[in-house]
Amino acid sequence: MPTRLKWLPQAITLLENIYDYYSKKSECSAVRLYNRIIDSADLLKTFPHAGPLEPSLKDFPQNFHSFVVEKHYKLIYTISPDLIEIHAIWDCRQDDWKLKEMFR
């Protein structure tokens, strides 16, 4: 079972963008959302297959999984024997084709 979790640079940038967006409205809300996303990712260390394969990315050679956090966001990640890599945080309110473009 994978025990290490790695946030890839793109995922970190997306998380920071989410924080920046919400902090303009409420610093407290931004911190809370940021922490919930981080905490949700930690659950994947124990339950890496909690998220199904991401249907929007099924045509890619990697098996991308997605795990919904905080209603509107998905963690997009891959699983290897000793590592879970978080590739992106996706706002589910956007069109799926934009997610595909992000990974091209």
Q: How many domains does the chain have?
A: 1
List the CATH number of the domain containing 10.
3.30.2310.20
Alpha-carbon gap, residue 91 to 57, rounded angstroms = 15
**Per-residue model confidence (pLDDT) at position 22:** 95
Query: What is the helix, strand, coil percentage profile of the chain, to 5?
Result: 45, 25, 30
pLDDT tens sequence for the chain (104 residues): 667 999 999 999 999 999 999 999 999 999 999 999 999 999 999 999 999 999 999 999 999 999 999 889 999 999 998 899 999 999 999 998 999 999 88
Residue span of the structural domain in which 28 resides:
4-102
Cβ atoms within 10 Å of 76's Cβ, excluding its own:
26
